[in-house]
Amino acid sequence: MTKSDRKVVKQWGGGVSGVREGGTFFIEVEGVKIAKRGLPGTPQANTWISLEPGWEVTDDPDDSSSFAITNNSAKMN
């Protein structure tokens, strides 16, 4: 991966960022990738895949543009 393959798409408070690398979208907290979006055509499509223990990203069922981040049951967003 070259530096130009990584793009910060959105930044929220608390050190949370949305990053696109190639065709994959990640959620980072303070520079650590905690979850990635499942790719189309895979069993994980349109779901969040946790990458770090204790972290969970879930979609808001009432708002497709919103999600929640949980670490050890403490909600961040």
**Domain range annotation of the chain:** 3-75
Q: Report the pLDDT value the prediction gives residue 7, as an integer from 0 to 100.
A: 94
pLDDT by residue (tens digit) across 9-66?
999 999 999 999 998 999 999 999 999 999 999 999 989 999 999 999 999 888 878 8
Pairwise CA distance, residues 11 & 40, whole Å = 24
Pairwise CA distance, residues 24 & 13, whole Å = 22
pTM of the model: 0.82
